């Protein structure tokens, strides 16, 4: 999205000192320090992303700053999982930014409530850039992709066992109802979790997809599914980009941020409230109206991508 207009140099959050020598040689006077996507407006000024931003500003004091598409941690949930957000620290950074855009409507509402000194725009999740304009009607073969992930206790209910218990029974029920099940990971740890920790490898007939690092291949795979049920936010977003109707397993408020922004809030449930029969009924309802659901999702995703382009143009025109 930005690489067409900027030469981008990534600063590692996990290892910020990595590449420090090369930066001294080659990154002399960057035009911008950009805070990108992910739920990274969180934690405090002496830790995490805000610390890295403040240190970068000290190194390159003449660089402008911009916020392009991150999500904002909801304070109550951040406190609940032990990562409270330093509102004043973030306000100081954001008020100095030349441009602010966030992932979705909930993130915007939070920043608007902080009374910043400039407008907060919605650029949507960066992954929406991959939205395909046209879609192929489903073949109605009862093919379903599923994703479960080990997020630890940083989830609604703080009980990962609820997901494990649900997942096994859910996959068995899908098979009983005639569905062909495919496991889709967004990271290597997802497949390990699904196969071994949940034990889905012990269920005969469960298929796996492994080429998750190839975005186009992953999108083709998700397009071949009739329906997708997923936990990781970007597994859901990728399904949406190819107009595959989905049901989201909400583990953090960021899932709601995406769902509300594209107006599909009915297609989800929190992971501490999962009920196999209720979700099976929802899947059956989606499947019985698959053409309509596809068309509706495609319209909403194309609208989001159009808004994303407009917001990006707004930023580029401000330079």
pLDDT at 55: 87
pLDDT at 20: 60
CATH of 143-302, one of 3.40.830.10, 3.40.50.300, 3.40.50.10860, 3.40.50.2000: 3.40.50.2000
DSSP 8-state symbol, 32: E
Question: How far is it, in rounded angstroms, from Cα 253 to Cα 71?
Answer: 10
- The number of angstroms, rounded, from the C-alpha of 259 to the middle of its chain's C-alpha atoms is 10
DSSP assignment string, 140-185: ---EEEEE----TT-SGGG-HHHHHHHHHHHHHHHHHTTPEEEE--
Question: How far is it, in rounded angstroms, from Cα 202 to Cα 215?
Answer: 28
What residues contact residue 127 under an 8 Å CB cut-off, 6+ apart?
Answer: 37, 234, 237, 238, 241
pLDDT at 17: 55
Contact 91, 57 (CB under 8 A): no
pLDDT at 145: 99
Contact 168, 161 (CB under 8 A): no
**Tens of pLDDT along the chain (319 residues)?**
676 666 666 665 555 555 565 666 666 788 899 998 888 888 887 877 898 899 889 989 999 999 999 999 999 999 999 889 999 999 999 999 999 999 999 999 999 999 999 999 999 999 999 999 999 999 999 999 999 999 999 999 999 999 999 999 999 999 999 999 999 999 999 999 999 999 999 999 999 999 999 999 999 999 999 999 999 999 999 999 999 999 999 999 999 999 999 999 899 999 999 999 999 999 999 999 999 999 999 999 999 999 999 999 999 999 8
End-to-end CA distance of the chain: 16
Question: How far is it, in rounded angstroms, from Cα 20 to Cα 7?
Answer: 18
Show me where the domains of the chain are located: 20-123, 143-302
Task: Please report where in the chains the tokens 């449930």 appear, as a residue.
Answer: 269
Question: How far is it, in rounded angstroms, from Cα 120 to Cα 67?
Answer: 10
The three-point CA angle 273-107-310 to 5° equals 125
pLDDT at 9: 60
Task: Please report where in the chains the tokens 């950074």 appear, as a residue.
Answer: 93
Instruction: Catalogue the long-range contacts made by 45-52 (C-beta closer than 8 Å, 24 or more residues apart).
Output: 45/86, 45/89, 45/92, 48/13, 49/13, 50/86, 50/89, 50/90, 50/93, 52/11, 52/13, 52/16
Question: How far is it, in rounded angstroms, from Cα 272 to Cα 242?
Answer: 28
pLDDT at 44: 80
Neighbours of 74 (CB within 10 A): 21
pLDDT at 171: 99
Helical spans, DSSP H, in the chain: 20-26, 48-59, 75-80, 87-96, 105-113, 160-176, 188-192, 215-223, 233-241, 253-261, 276-288, 290-318
Question: How far is it, in rounded angstroms, from Cα 180 to Cα 141?
Answer: 8
pLDDT at 27: 67
């Amino acid at each position: 999205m930005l690489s067409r207009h900027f030469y981008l140099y990534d600063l590692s959050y996990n290892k910020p000192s990595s590449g420090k020598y090369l930066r001294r040689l080659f990154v002399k006077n960057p035009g911008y320090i950009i805070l990108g996507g992910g739920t990274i407006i969180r934690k405090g000024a002496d830790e995490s992303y805000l610390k890295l931003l403040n240190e970068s500003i000290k190194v390159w004091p003449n660089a402008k700053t911009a916020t392009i598409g991150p999500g904002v941690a909801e304070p109550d949930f951040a406190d609940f999982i032990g990562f409270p957000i330093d509102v004043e620290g973030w306000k100081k950074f954001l008020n100095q930014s030349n441009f602010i855009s966030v992932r979705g409507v909930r993130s915007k509402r939070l920043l608007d409530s902080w009374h910043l000194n400039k407008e907060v725009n919605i650029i949507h999740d960066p992954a929406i850039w991959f939205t395909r304009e046209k879609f192929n009607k489903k073949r109605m073969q009862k093919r379903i992709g599923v994703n479960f992930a080990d997020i630890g206790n940083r989830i609604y209910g703080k009980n990962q066992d609820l997901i494990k218990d649900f997942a096994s029974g859910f996959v068995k029920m899908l098979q009983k109802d005639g569905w062909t099940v495919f496991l889709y990971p967004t990271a290597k740890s997802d497949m390990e979790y699904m196969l071994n920790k949940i034990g889905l490898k012990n269920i005969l007939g469960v298929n796996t997809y492994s080429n998750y690092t190839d975005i186009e291949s992953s999108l083709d795979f998700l397009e071949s599914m009739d329906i997708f049920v997923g936990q990781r936010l970007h597994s859901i977003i990728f399904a949406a980009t190819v107009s595959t109707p989905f049901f989201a397993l909400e583990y953090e408020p960021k899932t709601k941020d995406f769902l509300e922004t594209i107006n599909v809030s009915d297609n989800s449930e929190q992971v501490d409230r999962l009920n196999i029969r209720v979700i099976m009924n929802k899947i059956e309802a989606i499947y019985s109206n698959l053409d309509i659901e596809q068309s509706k999702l495609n319209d909403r995703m194309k609208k989001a991508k159009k808004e994303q382009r407009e917001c990006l143009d707004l930023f580029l025109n401000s330079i």
